[in-house]
Chains A and B, each alone.
Chain A
């Protein structure tokens, strides 16, 4: 079955959506991601949507759900790379993605994830200099 690959990078999960997603594929991604967050004990999820042509209400809702679910599982979600045309259209459509963090690109998204990693957790790796 068709699946969107989820990459692991340290305590973060990386998803880059490169295909024109149909609704079932989006639902599968949502399920896979929550499974992986628990399995990998991930602290952050980064979703790159820079090659997505549109974000309609269904995809918008999926992004919101992923953010809420991962927050419940102690992981932050950042959506990165939204194209201007997509953003303009979403505003017109009435979608605001409340509760979802956004960043311009993967690099800035990673910065946000690093910043939000909770302090005081027993971690073996050294904190980045802020």
Chain B
């Protein structure tokens, strides 16, 4: 059984909402406190990217099962300007805005799986998963 939740991500209030929903599902999936914190933090970083750089979009939070393992998968999708140089964007400290540039690189370290799909003018889709 997989559970799905779609959340609009347009403002900084929505970032809070994403954190709260992700937290609820992480608790439900039985993640330890440290793991919960890692997942919520990654969600917060990515949701903020969606608002600040992607011009808003949506998040899909789902519980997934594979090979007897339970995981939490977060997908963030926007129709924004997209990323020209993904490799550069993944570097610690690189930012086109006013942030610290830890959003992408940091959330990759906090999760087990990280996938980014983006092209200029095509928007950005980031998928991250953490297994229990």
A residues near B (Cβ < 8 Å) are 20-24, 53-58, 60-61, 83-86, 88-90, 92-95
Q: List B contacts of A88 (CB < 8 A).
A: 34, 37-38
Q: By DSSP majority rule, is chain B's interface helix, strand, loop, or mixed?
A: helix
Segment 17-45 of B: residues with Cβ below 8 Å from A: 19-20, 23, 33-34, 36-38, 40-41, 44-45
A22-B13, A22-B15, A23-B15 known; A89-B92 Cβ under 8 A? no
15 more CB-based (< 8 A) A-B contacts, given A60-B100, A83-B37, A89-B37: A22-B16, A23-B15, A53-B23, A53-B37, A54-B37, A54-B44, A56-B45, A56-B48, A57-B45, A58-B99, A61-B99, A61-B100, A92-B38, A93-B41, A94-B102
Please state if B40 and A57 are interface contacts (CB–CB under 8 Å).
Answer: no
Tell me, yes or no, whether B65 is within 8 Å of chain A by CB: no
Q: List A contacts of B33 (CB < 8 A).
A: 85
Q: List A contacts of B83 (CB < 8 A).
A: none
Pick the interface stretch among B1-9, B67-75, B105-113, B121-129: B105-113
Minimum CB–CB distance from A65 to chain B (whole Å) comes to: 11
Q: Of A54, A55, A57, A93, which one neighbours B109 at CB under 8 angstroms?
A: A93
Please state if B16 and A86 are interface contacts (CB–CB under 8 Å).
Answer: no
Q: List A contacts of B44 (CB < 8 A).
A: 54, 56, 58
Tell me, yes or no, whether B56 is within 8 Å of chain A by CB: no
Tell me, yes or no, whether B57 is within 8 Å of chain A by CB: no
Minimum CB–CB distance from A28 to chain B (whole Å) comes to: 12
Q: List B contacts of A58 (CB < 8 A).
A: 44, 48, 99
Q: List A contacts of B99 (CB < 8 A).
A: 57-58, 61
Tell me, yes or no, whether B54 is within 8 Å of chain A by CB: no
Tell me, yes or no, whether B84 is within 8 Å of chain A by CB: no
A22-B16, A23-B48, A85-B33 known; A53-B110 Cβ under 8 A? no
Minimum CB–CB distance from B23 to chain A (whole Å) comes to: 7
Please state if B15 and A57 are interface contacts (CB–CB under 8 Å).
Answer: no
Tell me, yes or no, whether B80 is within 8 Å of chain A by CB: no
Q: List A contacts of B20 (CB < 8 A).
A: 20
Q: List A contacts of B102 (CB < 8 A).
A: 57, 93-95
Please state if A89 and B41 are interface contacts (CB–CB under 8 Å).
Answer: yes
